Amino acid sequence: MKPFAVDRVNAICAALFIGFGACFALQSLGLEIGTAFRMGPGYFPLVLAIVLILLGAIILVQAVRFDSSEPIGHIAWRGMLFILPAPIFFGLTVRGLGFIPSIFLTALIASFASSRMKPLTALALSAGLTLFAFLVFSYALGLPFRRFGPWLPL
């Protein structure tokens, strides 16, 4: 009989998913939930938290069923250094710089998470993403936002 084994990497991921999902679910319960047809401000965060908990449970079941016995690899510090601050930068600058410069700079920051990213490729990727976001949010969805903010002398 095979001894009980748990894939540590997937178990840690599952614990993080379940923990973050539970935290967000508890926070969303402080808001008005509403119904599926009349959603309150807490409805969507609660649904996403439940999905996160369910994904964590699925990963946990897989971690218990299959033991890959692989050690936890190195931590991608470069990725965390560039990916994690990017949305924070966007949130802090979107009102001052405006939507277009903030999206461009956020994409530029995040693109350097890969050590293989070249500066010219990062600029092209950021410009393409900015154009796409502008077309989708401004023209397709018609969302009212400032394209360029008061920090820029335009």
* pLDDT tens-digit readout, 9-27: 889 999 999 999 999 999 9
- The pTM for the full model equals 0.64
Give the burial string for 28-66 (b: 16+ CB within 10 Å, else e).
Answer: beeeeeeeeeeeeebbebbeebeebbeebeebbeebeee
* pLDDT tens-digit readout, 106-138: 999 999 999 999 999 999 999 999 999 999 999
Please tell me the distance from the alpha carbon of residue 1 to that of residue 65, in angstroms, as a whole number.
Answer: 14
Please tell me the distance from the alpha carbon of residue 110 to that of residue 107, in angstroms, as a whole number.
Answer: 5
